[in-house]
A and B are shown apart, each in its own frame.
Chain A
Amino acid sequence: MNGLVDSLLVVILLLNLFTLGTSRIRAVIQVVALQGILLGAMPLMIHDPCHLQTLLMAVGTAGLKGWVIPNMLSRAMRDLSIQREVEPLISLTKSLLLGAIGTALALAFARHLPLVEGHAAGLLVPASLSTVLTGLLILTTRIKAITQVLGCLIFENGVFIFGLMLIEALPFFVEIGVLLDLLVGVFVMGIIINHINREFSSVSTERLSSLKE
């Protein structure tokens, strides 16, 4: 059982590196969607799959993170005719390198964390930390507003992986609340991107610099 979870987590780690290395936004959106679906599948493997709550959570996560939100972003790309390139602040090779170093550090660091027996051997904690780092990296080194939203989503995915260990602490309502907030957040950000596009005829946040001190 745990072997399967760990292999999925390895896929997620590889997807993280892929998002750092790719130059096409559409690819990043697809990767985030795939990550969402994988995250949706994981509760079923860690917890009792026959339980209604686990089932609903899996469907809700996969549906929102894997389908609704990526679709919203793809539509925004199409409607606003956003250029396909990601426009990083540092070169893609460098961000890939930073991501690899971050992942290695996360793996090394997680070994020294005081973890519960069952979690110490698995990849849940390092995968969570590495995904959080990837999200932060994308957030800070990409100029376009839409890629910053994607960075936020990857960051949230990392937090979600950590949450997989705590299913009893997070009742169904809270899970749904978290997902709903995420959805509304992306929706509001989408509206703002739309306005940024109209105001500056570009979705690059580089133009958003009149409020500097």
Chain B
Amino acid sequence: MALAILLLPLILAGVALLVPSNRARPWLLPVAGVGHLSLVGAALGRLPLGSPTGWLVLDPLGGLVLALISVLFFLCSLYAVGYLRHREDRSNRVFCACLLVFLAMMSLVTWAHHWGLMWVAMEATTLASAPLIYFNRTARSLEATWKYLLICSVGIALALLGSFFLAYSSLHEGLPSSLLMEDLLRNAPKLSTPWLRAAFVLLLVGYGTKMGLAPMHSWKPDAYGESPGVAGALFSGGMTSCALLMVLRIYHVCHAAGEADVARQMMVFMGLVSMAVAAAFLIRQRDLKRMLAYSSGEHMGILVLGVGIGGPALYGALLHMVNNGLAKGVLFLSAGNIHRAYGGKSLDEVSGALRRLPLSGALFLAGFLAITGSPPFGPFLSEFTIAWAALGGGQFLAGGLFLALLFAVFVGMGATVLAATQGRPSEEALATSYRDGWLTGGPTLVMMAMVLMLGVHLPVFLRTLLLDAVRFLEARP
């Protein structure tokens, strides 16, 4: 099963490199999306999958992330067909192949139960996604790609050092050094505490760079700002969720070792700092995609904060990961449409999006309301759970700051989003030929419907999966 899920996109990536037609090639993406989605659907019914001592195991936690990635990729792949039709001026050969390799490597991250393999897969997601940022071939996108590659490579190298420290923590106590999750969890109470703590810090910082936690977020606004909307959607919903999974994995080991309190304190701190930095940059932000990037940084902060607060907030954080992934998808895809229609993404060019693009403009506005935690959308529920857990658990400072920062972000983002959607579009914007189409509007609409549904009624299978994942994380050997 694991091999099928990994090989399908890889083989199709090879096919994408061979297909000569620029117009037919993007259709490989939905083919991969449908295949991946059905395989993942079959796998989720039989959790946990894989031999417990093997390197490839699909546990409920990995299954949750894998399901999110699969749904997101499928909807994005349909959008990509519509998007690439508007960009027939340039070859999409590398773009399509890299998207598929990116999907395969993200899936590998969710399956991997060996820290070395996880590292290889995470680094591979960086390398496969770098060409996605450079699709537009401009000086600015080049700069963004370089920053992304360099900062993430350094971050991920720190994570490798952290993984080694983790292995050393068992070697130090005379245990055979191993990087398998199962061995580490079983021996967790015996691991050397100083090395485990050092490993946690390095892994949090290393994979936190990939998540875009402040202060290692500096690649994020550039990479999201300069890449096509579809890449932004997959970065902010898929890749960052993979990086969060890595942070949850080391938290899992710390929890099993009885070191959860230290880890939690650090995560609460990192989460609040990320939210504060993002809020500061969100206020008076004039560039729509950079605004979304800072919002993504804010939500990565919320996720780490939720895990750090613990208790019911852990459930809230996992639910928020799903909500954030889908809502960010809506925002990035509709922002991509707005970018196409106006030929720009800054408030200097964009105004009156509701008139110029009735569907995308409305979805952008609704996506903004959803991501900032307005009822009845999904993120309201998950953010409420986290705030409730913090205040109910006596963590008034963290809970109070969390709510205050959410409010600041709402005000900051609101000003930009309202300026972009309200008012009258300029004459130049009305003259461009871009219109909302089925392929660029439809997937976004479906994502928005899912975000709404998550707020109104949580489907039973998702609820079970979330609870299983929480139970998996909290279980002690």
Which residues of B134-164 are within 8 A (CB) of A?
134, 139-140, 142-147, 149-150, 153-154, 157, 160-161, 164
> B163-182, CB under 8 A of A: which get 1 and which 0?
01101100110001111000
Judge whether A170 and B154 touch: CB under 8 Å.
Answer: no
Query: What are 10 A-B interface contacts by the 8 Å CB criterion?
Result: A113-B194, A132-B161, A139-B150, A145-B146, A166-B171, A174-B120, A181-B127, A184-B124, A200-B139, A208-B143
CB distance from A151 to the nearest CB of B (A): 9
B195 close to A (CB within 8 Å): yes
B117 close to A (CB within 8 Å): yes
Which residues on the B side are within 8 Å of A213 (C-beta)? 221, 281, 290
- What CA separation (Å) do A166 and B157 show in the bound complex? 16
Judge whether A156 and B157 touch: CB under 8 Å.
Answer: yes
Judge whether B171 and A181 touch: CB under 8 Å.
Answer: no
> A188-209, CB under 8 A of B: which get 1 and which 0?
1100100110011000010011
- What CA separation (Å) do A195 and B127 show in the bound complex? 16
Which residues on the A side are within 8 Å of B222 (C-beta)? 211
B422 close to A (CB within 8 Å): no
Known: A168-B176, A169-B177. A188 touches B160 (CB 8 A): no
Known: A170-B116, A181-B127. A162 touches B161 (CB 8 A): yes
Pick the residue among B130, B142, B154 that contacts A188 (CB under 8 A): B130
Which residues on the A side are within 8 Å of B143 (C-beta)? 208-211
Q: How large is the interface on B (under 10, 10 to 19, 20 to 34, 35 or more residues)?
A: 35 or more
| Nearest CB in chain A to that of B174: its residue | A116
Judge whether A169 and B167 touch: CB under 8 Å.
Answer: yes
Pick the residue among A148, A174, A180, A192 that contacts B114 (CB under 8 A): A174
| Nearest CB in chain A to that of B143: its residue | A208
Which residues on the A side are within 8 Å of B131 (C-beta)? 188
Residues of A that sit less than 8 Å from B by CB = 113-116, 132, 136, 139, 145, 148, 152, 155-156, 158-159, 162-163, 165-166, 168-171, 173-174, 177-178, 180-181, 184-185, 188-189, 192, 195-196, 199-200, 205, 208-211, 213
Judge whether B134 and A195 touch: CB under 8 Å.
Answer: yes
Residues of B that sit less than 8 Å from A by CB = 114, 116-117, 119-120, 123-124, 126-127, 130-131, 134, 139-140, 142-147, 149-150, 153-154, 157, 160-161, 164-165, 167-168, 171-172, 176-179, 192, 194-195, 221-222, 225-226, 281, 290
Judge whether B154 and A114 touch: CB under 8 Å.
Answer: no
- What CA separation (Å) do A113 and B194 show in the bound complex? 9
Judge whether B116 and A178 touch: CB under 8 Å.
Answer: yes
Which residues on the B side are within 8 Å of A159 (C-beta)? 157, 160-161, 164
CB distance from B107 to the nearest CB of A (A): 16
Judge whether A155 and B281 touch: CB under 8 Å.
Answer: no
Judge whether A177 and B139 touch: CB under 8 Å.
Answer: no
Which residues on the B side are within 8 Å of A115 (C-beta)? 172
Which residues on the B side are within 8 Å of A181 (C-beta)? 120, 123-124, 127
Q: Taking each of A116, A152, A169, A200, which has the highest tally of chain B beta carbons within 10 Å of its own beta carbon?
A: A169
- What CA separation (Å) do A145 and B172 show in the bound complex? 39
Which residues on the B side are within 8 Å of A184 (C-beta)? 124, 127
- What CA separation (Å) do A119 and B306 show in the bound complex? 39
- What CA separation (Å) do A195 and B140 show in the bound complex? 12
Known: A174-B117, A181-B127. A152 touches B164 (CB 8 A): no
Pick the residue among B144, B146, B153, B177 that contacts A185 (CB under 8 A): B153
| Nearest CB in chain B to that of A168: its residue | B177
Q: Taking each of A145, A200, A213, which has the highest tally of chain B beta carbons within 10 Å of its own beta carbon?
A: A213
| Nearest CB in chain B to that of A156: its residue | B157
- What CA separation (Å) do A170 and B115 show in the bound complex? 9
Judge whether B157 and A177 touch: CB under 8 Å.
Answer: no
- What CA separation (Å) do A174 and B176 show in the bound complex? 17
CB distance from B48 to the nearest CB of A (A): 22
- What CA separation (Å) do A197 and B157 show in the bound complex? 26
Which residues on the A side are within 8 Å of B124 (C-beta)? 181, 184
Which residues on the B side are within 8 Å of A174 (C-beta)? 114, 116-117, 119-120, 179
Which residues on the A side are within 8 Å of B140 (C-beta)? 210-211
Judge whether A114 and B164 touch: CB under 8 Å.
Answer: no
CB distance from A12 to the nearest CB of B (A): 17
Among all A-B residue pairs, the 7 with the closest Cβ atoms? A174-B116, A177-B120, A169-B167, A169-B177, A208-B143, A181-B123, A211-B222
Which residues on the A side are within 8 Å of B123 (C-beta)? 181, 185
Judge whether B179 and A170 touch: CB under 8 Å.
Answer: yes
